[in-house]
Chain A
């Protein structure tokens, strides 16, 4: 993706998305409600593949929450959180397949890994998937847009 095509984003949007993901996955795990895993895989996929306009929670943040907040202190490059979401999609898809294959323990373990990393990102801003993309970007000399 060309640097010129990437527009900086409000970093609170992905953090809201991560918080919603954690809440959904933990409630799903608590009540053994398995459809939440593929559903969140699709939710993440929409935002990762097509951009924040298509992610339901990102849209909710932009339309309802962001107008009530002060402007962000800093913007961030959108590509690291999109990459992190793509990693989340892959793991949640694997978890969904594990449910289908009759291995709910493996499935919930994978989903809880995603929940743990998303929760860490939402609570602290430390996004492991983003750091993976930034590591790649630094090695390749990719220009950040924020």
Chain B
């Protein structure tokens, strides 16, 4: 029984620590170097471009797009339907919508926001 308790306690400790470890890992993965350059056709020479990955079922994507346009009026905002362009979505490891990427003139990804709440936090920061 004591050994079993120890195993269960170890697993519960792992579950308790896992979210913090995953957040650290995510921050590392989210470094700009992890992303390929955004295609020049999307950038179109703009200084700053938001690439917003959406799906037809994404209820929060339209408000998020409006939020980005309002918060960053000088930036170009491009929406990409991930179901119509799965290759592009896959290249940027898009797992859910909305996912927003901020790219500079060279197509380098400077920020990656996943979910409407992340966008809200970013634009309010």
Contacts and interface: CB of A to CB of B under 8 A. Distances in A.
A124 B16 CA distance: 9
B101 to A, nearest CB: 16
Contacts of B16: 123
A29 B7 contact: yes
A122 B15 contact: yes
A3 B81 CA distance: 14
Interface in A2-35: 3, 7-8, 11, 22, 26, 29-30, 32
Nearest to B61: A74
Interface in B108-123: 114-117
B5 A112 contact: no
Contacts, number: 83
Contacts of A3: 83
A71 B59 CA distance: 10
Interface of B: 1, 4-5, 7-8, 11-12, 14-16, 18-19, 21-22, 55, 57-60, 82-83, 86-87, 89-90, 95-98, 114-117
10 contacts: A3-B83, A8-B55, A11-B96, A29-B4, A76-B96, A116-B11, A116-B14, A122-B15, A124-B19, A144-B55
